[in-house]
Amino acid sequence: MSLIEITEVRKSFGSNEVLKGITLNVEPGEVIAIIGKSGSGKSTLLRCINGLEVIDDGAISVAGAQFLPDELHLKALRLKVGMIFQQFNLFPHLTAGGNVMLSQKVVRKTPKAEAEAMARKMLERVGLAHKFDAYPDELSGGQQQRVAIARALAMQPIALLCDEITSALDPELVAEVLAVVRELAAEGMTLLMVTHEMKFARDVCSRVVFMHEGRVHEIGSPEQFFSNPRTPELKQFLGML
Amino acid sequence: MIQFTTWDILRNLLYATRWTILLSLVSFIGGGLLGMVLLYLRTGRRRAARIFVKYYVELFQGTPLLMQLFLAFFGLGLFGIDVPAWLAAGTALILWSAAFLTEIWRGCVESVVKGQWEASASLGMGYAQQMRHVILPQALRVAVPPTVGFSVQVVKGTALTSIIGFVELSKAGTAITNATFEPFTVYGFVALIYFALCWPLSKSSQMLERKLNVAHRNH
Q: For residue B117, what pLDDT band results from cuts at 50, 70 and 90?
A: very high
Predicted TM-score of the model (pTM): 0.82
A136 touching B, CB under 8 A?
A: yes
A165 touching B, CB under 8 A?
A: no
Q: For residue B218, what pLDDT band results from cuts at 50, 70 and 90?
A: very low
Averaged over A210-229, what is the pLDDT?
A: 90
- Work out the percent of chain A whose per-residue pLDDT is above 90: 68
From the list B116, B122, B217, the residue facing A50 with the nearest CB is: B122
First-to-final CA distance of chain B: 69
If phi over 0 gives left and psi between -120 and 50 gives alpha, with beta otherwise, what is residue A119? alpha
- Work out the percent of chain B whose per-residue pLDDT is above 70: 96
Averaged over B144-149, what is the pLDDT?
A: 90
pLDDT at B219: 44
Q: For residue B215, what pLDDT band results from cuts at 50, 70 and 90?
A: very low
- Return the domain boundaries, chain B: 6-216
Q: Using CA atoms, how far apart are residues B130 and A75, in angstroms rounded to an integer?
A: 13
Q: For residue B157, what pLDDT band results from cuts at 50, 70 and 90?
A: very high
For residue A161, the chain B residue with the least C-alpha distance is B122
The shortest C-alpha distance from B118 to chain A (Å) reads 7
For residue A100, the chain B residue with the least C-alpha distance is B123
pLDDT in tens, A99-125: 999 999 999 999 999 999 999 999 999
From the list A52, A148, A155, the residue facing B121 with the nearest CB is: A52
pLDDT at B196: 95
What 8-state DSSP symbol labels residue A13?
A: E
Lowest-confidence region among A51-65, A104-118, A149-163, B143-157: A51-65
Averaged over A9-20, what is the pLDDT?
A: 92
Phi, psi of A214 (to 5 degrees): 80, 10
Lowest-confidence region among A59-68, A173-182, A183-192, B127-136: A59-68
pLDDT in tens, A25-45: 999 999 999 999 888 889 999
Q: Using CA atoms, how far apart are residues A138 and A141, in angstroms rounded to an integer?
A: 10
pLDDT in tens, B60-94: 999 999 999 999 888 877 888 888 889 899 999 99
> Of A44, A52, A107, A144, which to mutate for an interface test with B (greatest number of B Cβ within 10 Å)?
A107
pLDDT at B213: 64
pLDDT in tens, B12-68: 899 999 999 999 999 999 999 999 999 999 988 889 999 999 999 999 999 999 999
Q: Are strands A65-66 and A31-36 parallel, antiparallel or unpaired?
A: unpaired
A178: CB partners within 8 A, 6+ apart: A166, A197, A200
H or E stretch at B31: helix B6-43
Phi, psi of B64 (to 5 degrees): -65, 145
Q: What is the ipTM of this complex?
A: 0.90
Q: Report the CATH fold assignment for A4-91+159-237.
A: Rossmann fold (3.40.50)
pLDDT at A65: 77
Size of interface A-B (CB pairs under 8 A): 64
> Of B123, B138, B140, which to mutate for an interface test with A (greatest number of A Cβ within 10 Å)?
B123
For residue A136, the chain B residue with the least C-alpha distance is B219
Phi, psi of A160 (to 5 degrees): -120, 135
The shortest C-alpha distance from B102 to chain A (Å) reads 23
Phi, psi of A221 (to 5 degrees): -70, 150
pLDDT at A165: 92
pLDDT at residue B3 greater than cutoff 70? yes
A155 touching B, CB under 8 A?
A: yes
From the list B116, B124, B219, the residue facing A103 with the nearest CB is: B124
Which of 1.10.10.60, 1.10.3720.10, 3.40.50.720, 3.40.980.10 would CATH assign to domain B6-216?
Answer: 1.10.3720.10
pLDDT at B95: 95
- Return the domain boundaries, chain A: 4-91+159-237
Average pLDDT of chain A to the nearest whole number: 91
pLDDT in tens, A121-139: 999 999 999 999 999 999 9
pLDDT at residue A66 greater than cutoff 60? yes
pLDDT at A241: 62
Is residue A82 a contact partner of residue A152, using CB atoms and an 8 Å limit?
yes
pLDDT at residue B217 greater than cutoff 70? no
